[in-house]
């Protein structure tokens, strides 16, 4: 067992001897504030460690017992693996004993022990009665069969048995996941002269290495890990389950606060909305109404929130429900994170639960589809949970890292599940590099829509060879990622449903076919433009002549556009229609002239071909647009002058 990665938390009423007990066990005084020394009570979190006989080191978080500082106790309980419930022999079970114990159960602490302190102040009969009360108190809980250690921190009685009990407890605890996403909720922020900003916390998962870049959530501030200490010893790497102090470079103390989370850049995402299941304590004084304002505790943070009851009008004590929290400040949490809810006023613990979805949409109440989806996310297997999240992402898709944080799975679990879903043809892998996937149903819908769009286009513009890539994308979904769009085109091409010609797309069955009347008008239009030579007609002039022949309005315009698309005609500025052969002749002569003379003015161009200034300007702009020429002052030169052979 890696006891270097196990954290024990204290819990219990004020003045029941938690801090004194920790000092007796470890030799470390966790009361560090002047006010704590003067008043003799713990106000802030304290930290210590116990060297075990096995050679390991057990981290200890000492929490305040006063009712005014329960919020600090909740922060300290984050990340603990076991609890040491402390009860003073002379007082027995007290209000904060119950509240701290409730918090431990709400946070799903699964291991622990009970320590009865101050036994030197009571007689054996009284002690026996207190222990019996404790047995009844913990009945039905995770501490029901836990050992109870009577001790006196002042005389040392029972401390050796307690140390042995801690050794045994550590052996029953599995260390945290090193493959999970690195997260360190900050519980302290301070500066050290000559070093700068330091934060401390319990590393919940993953690992932190010296020199790593990190991101602080929810602010998004970037920093670099300058140094790491674990139990006051400098290390190169901190592992999940350890109490860690990090020296951060690139961020000031004033930019950080308890409740912030240190993680890897881009891995987490803060949200003002959270979906979860809340259980109301039997001791809650009143039913919970919809939109009740509460104090929401998760990790080391405390924010105000409103509870939206998704499946009922009120929640009774000892009952539970699916809810959405509307937070007044954003939090960067993950699925399965535990939370505690305390009433706004008076401030007492009323319930808690777990996060189901850390990045939900805003829900309507009593929406059966929403409720069914939350039940899948809460209790489904990894495959069903992943598939639901991928489906909910629609055409935006989702990436492996996002799935890890959304479902609180390590990347190996995500990769394995994605492979299974791919084999079952439930998802489409758009980009294997970052495991970017889209649901098969969404992908098939996009394929069908693309076919429908092209079909409609061909029906409306029968004389067009096809639609441009850009136009199809704009009609399909303007913000569609280029990689997904390319995947759609590649799939349709592979299925033989489309043909891609340069930048044009068409359905495989589509061919441009002219009617006999259109063939006659085509010949007529080409003849008009060919005979015009270097004095081309405008589109309006051509339309007038074709209308006399029976082809009118939009039909004539479509035929002209077809001839332009086919490259038989070229449309210049102001709607001038050049026959391709005439334009090619002008281009050839112009290139020859510029190879010889290097430059040409508008007047020289007019004289060379015998046309008006209107045509000269339009032609210059056309040749500029195809990168044949470029403007230099009031003249044109070849953009790329060919070398003589």
Domain 442-507 CATH (choose: 1.10.132.20, 1.20.58.110, 2.40.30.10, 1.10.10.10): 1.10.10.10
Q: Is 205 in contact with 275 (CB distance < 8 Å)?
A: no
Per-residue DSSP letters for 307-361? EEESS-SEE-TT-EEEEEEEEEEEE---TT-EEEEEESSS--EEEEEEEEESSPP
Domain 183-263's class? mainly beta
Pairing state between β 599-601 and 635-638:
antiparallel
pLDDT at 496: 95
Per-residue DSSP letters for 428-449? EEEEGGGTEEEEHHHHHHHHHH
Do 371-433 and 442-507 show the same overall fold? Answer: yes
pLDDT at 41: 37
CA 241 – CA 2 distance, rounded (Å): 10
Structural domain boundaries in the chain: 3-171, 183-263, 271-370, 371-433, 442-507, 516-638
CA 212 – CA 263 distance, rounded (Å): 10
pLDDT at 553: 66
**516-638 — its CATH code?**
1.10.10.10
Q: Which fold has domain 271-370?
A: Elongation Factor Tu (Ef-tu); domain 3 (2.40.30)
pLDDT at 644: 41
CA 80 – CA 202 distance, rounded (Å): 8
Q: Is 598 in contact with 636 (CB distance < 8 Å)?
A: no
Q: Is 347 in contact with 275 (CB distance < 8 Å)?
A: no
CA 143 – CA 105 distance, rounded (Å): 10
Query: 375-390: buried (b, 16+ CB within 10 Å) or exposed (e) per residue?
Result: eebbeeebeebbbbbb
Pairing state between β 82-88 and 112-117:
parallel
C-alpha 585, offset from chain centre:
59
pLDDT along the chain (645 residues), means of 10: 74 87 84 40 64 85 62 76 95 92 92 96 95 97 97 94 94 85 92 89 93 96 95 91 93 94 94 98 96 96 97 97 98 95 93 97 96 97 96 94 91 94 96 95 98 94 88 95 96 95 89 79 87 85 69 74 85 87 92 90 88 87 90 87 46
Domain 371-433 CATH (choose: 1.10.10, 3.30.70, 1.10.760, 1.10.3470): 1.10.10
pLDDT at 551: 56
Q: Which fold has domain 3-171?
A: Rossmann fold (3.40.50)
């Amino acid at each position: 067992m890696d006891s270097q990665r196990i954290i024990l938390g204290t819990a219990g009423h004020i003045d029941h001897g938690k801090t004194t007990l920790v000092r007796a066990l470890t030799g470390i005084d966790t009361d560090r504030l002047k006010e704590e020394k003067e008043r003799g009570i713990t106000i802030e979190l304290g930290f210590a460690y116990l060297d075990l006989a096995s050679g390991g080191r057990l981290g200890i978080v000492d929490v305040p017992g006063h009712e005014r500082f329960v919020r600090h106790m909740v922060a300290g309980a984050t990340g603990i693996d076991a609890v040491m419930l402390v009860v003073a022999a002379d007082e027995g079970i007290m209000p904060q004993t119950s509240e701290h114990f409730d918090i431990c159960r709400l946070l799903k602490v699964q291991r622990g022990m009970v320590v009865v302190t101050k036994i030197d102040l009571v007689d054996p009969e009284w002690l026996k009665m207190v222990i019996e009360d404790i047995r009844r108190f913990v009945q039905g809980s995770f501490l029901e069969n836990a050992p109870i250690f009577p001790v006196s921190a002042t005389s040392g009685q029972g401390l050796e048995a307690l140390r042995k009990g801690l050794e045994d407890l550590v052996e029953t605890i599995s260390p945290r996941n090193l493959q999970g996403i690195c997260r360190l909720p900050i519980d302290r922020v301070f500066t050290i002269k000559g070093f700068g900003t330091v934060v401390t916390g319990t590393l919940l998962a993953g690992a932190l290495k010296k020199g790593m870049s990190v991101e602080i959530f929810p602010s998004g501030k970037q920093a670099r890990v300058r140094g790491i200490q674990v139990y006051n010893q400098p290390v190169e790497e901190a592992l999940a389950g350890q109490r860690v102090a990090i020296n951060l470079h690139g961020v000031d103390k004033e930019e950080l606060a308890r409740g912030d989370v240190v993680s890897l850049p881009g891995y987490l995402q803060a949200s003002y909305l959270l979906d979860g299941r809340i259980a109301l304590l039997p001791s809650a004084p009143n039913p919970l109404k919809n939109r009740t304002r509460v104090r929401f505790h998760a990790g080391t943070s405390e924010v105000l929130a409103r509870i939206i009851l998704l499946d009922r009008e009120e929640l009774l004590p000892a009952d539970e429900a699916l809810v959405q929290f509307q937070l007044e400040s954003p939090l960067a949490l993950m699925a399965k994170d535990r939370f505690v809810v305390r009433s706004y006023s008076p401030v007492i613990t009323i319930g808690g639960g777990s996060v189901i979805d850390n990045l939900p949409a805003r829900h309507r109440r009593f929406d059966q589809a929403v409720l069914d989806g939350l039940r899948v996310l809460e209790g489904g297997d990894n495959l069903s949970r992943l598939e639901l999240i991928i489906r909910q992402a629609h055409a935006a898709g989702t990436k492996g890292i996002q799935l890890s944080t959304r479902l609180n799975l390590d990347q190996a679990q995500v990769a394995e599940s994605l492979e299974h879903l791919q084999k079952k043809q439930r998802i489409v892998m758009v980009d294997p590099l970052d495991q970017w996937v889209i649901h098969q149903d969404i992908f098939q819908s996009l394929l069908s829509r693309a076919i429908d769009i092209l079909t409609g286009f061909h029906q409306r513009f029968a004389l067009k060879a096809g639609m441009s890539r850009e136009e199809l994308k704009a009609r399909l979904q303007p913000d569609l990622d280029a990689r997904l769009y390319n995947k759609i085109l590649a799939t349709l091409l592979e299925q033989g449903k489309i043909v891609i010609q340069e930048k044009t797309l068409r359905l495989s069955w589509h061919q441009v076919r002219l009617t006999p009347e259109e063939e006659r008008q085509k010949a007529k239009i080409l003849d008009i433009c060919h005979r015009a030579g270097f004095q081309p007609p405008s589109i309006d002039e051509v339309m007038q002549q074709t209308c006399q022949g029976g082809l009118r309005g939009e039909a004539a315009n479509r035929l002209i556009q077809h001839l332009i698309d086919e490259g038989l005609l070229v449309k210049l500025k102001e709607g001038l229609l050049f026959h391709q052969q005439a334009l090619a002749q002008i281009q050839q002569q112009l290139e020859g002239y510029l190879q010889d003379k290097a430059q040409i003015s508008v007047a020289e161009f007019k004289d060379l071909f015998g046309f008006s200034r209107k045509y000269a300007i339009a032609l210059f702009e056309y040749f500029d647009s195809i990168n044949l020429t470029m403007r230099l002052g009031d003249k044109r030169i070849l953009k790329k002058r060919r070398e003589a052979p």
